[in-house]
Chains A and B, each alone.
Chain A
Amino acid sequence: MIMADGISNLCNDLQVDPQDIVMLVVSWHMKAATMCEFSKQEFVGGLQSLGIDSLEKFRDRIPSIRSELKDDQKFKEIYNFAFGWAKEKGQKSLALDTAIGMWQLLFEEKQWPLVEHWCQFLQARHNKAISRDTWSQLLEFARSVDPTLSNYDAEGAWPYLLDEFVEYLKENGIIQQKGRVLDLLGHI
């Protein structure tokens, strides 16, 4: 088993910050079960699938591994993988703090303008762990719904937490209720 120290050393050798998101992608390739630890099988198997047999190669491959995040399909898989990887063994849901950390990291890569509001909202109103369904649906939401919420469909079967988030945005004036304003103008 490679534990936290081992990983720290590995990152040193790779000249990569342990908090760097590329480590997530690496873990994904290794199908790692939990963050901050690799089993021998995961480590070796992962490197084999990447075709890496030396530290040099590994170091050289880092940029290309990082660029995999740009691919939409791969990003989705990595994102969904992250849930299982980041949560505590034996828990069904992901602790809120961890989730927020992961989201901030992931959406740095994949720019979502509402990520800060989302995290604030959760801390103010939710304060509970995040379910898998909510986690995966959030990505869909970030991808398909316009940041101004102009195409948000209230009948869209979004998880309740996301509906609440939309309410929160409207209540706090972060999102103008465009539709309504236009109506008023139309009648003047």
Chain B
Amino acid sequence: MSSQKKRSGIQIEAFKHRVVVDPKYAEKTWKVLEHAIHEIYNRNASGLSFEELYRNAYNMVLHKFGDKLYAGLVSTMTLHLKEIAASVEASQGSLFLEELNKKWMEHNKALQMIRDILMYMDRTYIPSTHKTPVHELGLNLWRDNIIHSSNIQTRLKDTLQEIVQKERGGEVINRGLMRNIVKMLMDLGPSVYQHDFEKPFLDVSANFYRGESQQYIECCDCGDYLKKAEKRLNEEIERVSQYLDAKSEVKITNVVEKEMIQSQMNRLAHMENSGLVNMIVDDKYEDMGRMYNLFRRVPNGLTLIKDVMTSHIRETGKQLVTDPEKLKDPVDFVQRLLDEKDKHDKIINLAFNNDKTFQNALNSSFEYFINLNTRSPEFISLFVDDKLRKGLKGVSEEDVEIVLDKVMMLFRYLQEKDVFEKYYKQHLAKRLLSGKSVSEDAERSLILKLKTECGYQFTSKLEGMFTDMKTSEDTMKGFYEAMGHLLADGPTLSVHVLTTGSWPTQSTTTCNLPPEILSVCDKFKKYYLGTHNGRRLTWQTNMGSADIKATFSKGVKHELNVSTYQMCVLMQFNDADRLSYREIEQAVEIPRVELKRCLQSLACAKGKNVLRKEPMSKDISENDVFFFNEKFSSKFYKVKIGMVAAQKESEPEKQETRQRVEEDRKPQIEAAIVRIMKARRVLDHNNIVAEVTKQLQSRFMPNPIVIKKRIESLIEREFLERDKEDRKLYRYLA
């Protein structure tokens, strides 16, 4: 390297002739270095001069004696290493590893010194000859002469595994020593670590855990087994962090997972008396959580848990909805459903990590079994009715919302939402008309939720019912303001004017109202029609109620709350003490079935028998005779006799409702078919069925046979035609 500046003065030039070096020079120099290496290995390096040795090595390389130097290094080191090997081999028992460790430390120190001395060779000779650098050479020689020496290799392998097994058996071992030995193997290269430690480690571990799992599975219950497996897993993780290569962690945990968890997981999950189903039933959150954490480590582990849970839920749910005992009380039935849902929600939350797939499985299971019972929609409506009638009395607003949200959750599971709507409407009508709703806010809140869920159409009629109630209030006020003076003597009238179409359909029946009632009703009718031209009013005598004051013998007075029919019957007894069935029938003109039910509630019900019947049989016959029961007594002043509360439908009523629902579905299906065909113009049968189902399934699941019949009806009415070539194809006729 020449400097750019020109220097004045002395110039040193290279020899112009070849410099000949004394051949004996190389040998002499080498001997010095060889001696140094011996001293270093004998731990006698303090007397050596670093500078001199470095210079010697430098000169050898410079004068082209690098080969000799390198070869000498190799043979000298090898010599020493063989001595070391012998010494290690000779050590007994636990001293074997200690000796090995000691010698290894010493070798590293020596190697460092030697490397420093030979640094020039490392940096110049070695790169150009592509030979192994000194440090690496030292490691390789150690490996070949010590670790892989035939007397040491196997013994080392086995010793290491024995120590690990001892620790697994509960003994305390020298972890520091292990750490050093393992680190030594790692330093010698990944293949050494793997070949001489890791692979045998994994094989021995696999055998060990296989045996252990078989042993435990025979004598432990599921919870205990899982605890043991978890303990072993944690042990292995700790072992790796303490004295193994971090990369081994995933490999050893895989071994434990495979041998202790994967191979036994089916048996564990299904274990009698302690398996997953028992844990679910007994709410063993900790055990289930442990199972989740362990099983998630193996393929299909979580699927197994989910499947066992799902089939259990479906089974218990199915039993719940088909057990006639449990179906006796609808409110109780629905409460049980909610309790089941809460229980499983809690399990998924606390033990299964809120896993979304588990949530989905829970939801689909509920959807499955709730719809197994065709009365579920009715029962859920009755539950709501009970809550809105009395269950939510005095409950805070937040808690009301919680209950209503739970109801909505069940509602979402229903496939026949239109059936629910029908019952809900009926029950709501009764609540509104009897004034028995606990809170209008709660009612409105639920309707809002239904609207959000199902759209405006679902709830528009329900809202109409509320409007009618409000309007009627105003109408009554107006009525009494206008006609108050005329009505002072008569009975107090309260009228609800219901818009037909918003309210559940009822067929009107005949009923002769008592004259005093008729008079005030007529006045109302006149008043109303005076302000609302063009409307038609029909008295719904089957929906009304009355409060009447009755005087019994000895001046005993009671206020009776009765239905309109009951009122008509009782008023007859103002003019007579004794009336035959036929006389009553003739006077009130109420249809037979209704009249009999009415008389039964007045004469045969304990504590409410304001009438007496002869003969005293349970059923009403047309030959019966009725008497006003002078001796009637009740501890309450106000006695409620009217049946206004919503009840579970009788079998014939249920059939009737079901029939009406089916009738209502037909036009909805037809409308869907027409909509689809209008858009698609041409479509084949199966696709129409699929599309119709998709459109309507948020309300109910249409029956493919009904869809087919509707299509035929539409063909008949020339909305559609079959394609002339392909009979499975339908065409929209504009």
- Interface of chain B residues 677 through 734 with chain A (CB within 8 A): 684-686, 705, 708-709, 712, 715-716, 722, 727-728
- One of A24-32, A48-56, A153-161, A171-179 at the interface: A153-161
Partner of B716, one of A132, A156, A157, A160: A132
Which residues A94-137 have CB closer than 8 A to chain B? 131-134, 137
**Bound: A157/B705 CA distance, A:** 10
Q: Is the CB of A157 within 8 A of B728?
A: yes
Q: Are B716 and A92 interface neighbours, CB within 8 A? A: yes
Docked Cα-Cα span, A133 to B716, in Å, equals: 7
Q: How many A-B residue pairs have CB under 8 A?
A: 31
A157–B684 CB distance below 8 A = yes
**Smallest CB gap from B730: residue in A:** A157
Bound Cα distance from A183 to B684, whole angstroms: 32
Chain A hits for B705, CB < 8 A: 160, 163
Q: Please give, as numbers and ranges, the residues of chain B lying within 8 Å of A140 by CB-CB distance.
A: 727
> Is A160 touching B728 in the complex (CB atoms < 8 A)?
no
Interface size, B (range): 10 to 19
In contact, A133 and B728 (Cβ under 8 angstroms): no
Task: Known A133-B722, A137-B727, A140-B727; judge A157-B685 contact (CB<8 A).
Answer: yes
Report chain A residues within 8 Å CB of B716.
92-93, 131-133
Cα-based distance from A163 to B705 in the complex (angstroms): 10
- The answer on a CB contact under 8 Å between B684 and A133 is no
Contact residues in A for B715 (Cβ distance below 8 Å): 131, 133
Nearest chain-A residue to B705 (Cβ)?
A: A160
Within the complex, the shortest CB–CB distance from A9 to chain B, in Å, comes to 38
Interface size range of chain A in the complex: 10 to 19
Enumerate chain B residues within 8 angstroms of A155, measured Cβ to Cβ.
685-686
Which residues does chain B contribute within 8 Å of A159, judged by CB atoms?
708, 712
* B contact patch SS: helix
What's the minimum C-beta distance from B652 to chain A, rounded to whole angstroms? 26
Bound-complex Cα distance A94 to B722 (A): 19
Closest Cβ of chain A to B469, distance in Å, is 45
Known: A92-B716, A133-B715. A160 touches B684 (CB 8 A): no
Selected contact of B709 from candidates A132, A157, A160, CB within 8 Å: A160
Query: Can you name the residue of chain B whose Cβ is closest to the Cβ of A136?
Result: B722
CB contacts (< 8 Å) of B728 on chain A: these are: 156-157
Chain A residues in 8 Å Cβ range of B709? 160
| Interface positions of B from 288 to 309, Cβ below 8 Å from A | none
Q: How far is the CA of A30 from the CA of B572 in the complex (A)?
A: 77
CB nearest neighbor in B for A140: B727
Question: In the complex, A78 Cα to B51 Cα: how many Å?
Answer: 123
| Complex Cα gap A35–B716 (Å) | 22
Chain A residue nearest in CB terms to B686: A155
Taken together as a complex, chains A and B put the C-alpha atoms of A155 and B687 apart, in Å, by 11
Contacts of A156 in B (CB 8 A): 728
CA distance A163 to B708 in the complex (A): 11
List chain B residues, Cβ under 8 A from A157. 684-686, 708, 727-728
A160–B708 Cα distance when bound, in Å, is 7
Task: Name the CB-closest residue of A to B709.
Answer: A160
Q: Which of A92, A132, A159 has the most CB of B within 10 A?
A: A159
Chain B residue nearest to A134 in the complex (CB): B712
Shortest Cβ distance from B692 into chain A, in angstroms? Answer: 14
The 6 A-B residue pairs whose C-beta atoms are closest, nearest first, are: A157-B685, A157-B728, A133-B715, A131-B716, A160-B708, A160-B709
With A133-B722, A160-B705, A163-B705 known, 9 other A-B pairs at CB within 8 A are A133-B716, A137-B727, A140-B727, A157-B685, A157-B727, A157-B728, A159-B712, A160-B709, A163-B708
> Residues of B at under 8 Å CB distance from A?
684-686, 705, 708-709, 712, 715-716, 722, 727-728
A-B contact pairs, 20 of them (CB 8 A): A92-B716, A93-B716, A131-B712, A131-B715, A132-B716, A133-B712, A133-B722, A134-B712, A137-B722, A140-B727, A155-B685, A155-B686, A156-B728, A157-B685, A157-B708, A157-B728, A159-B712, A160-B708, A160-B709, A163-B708
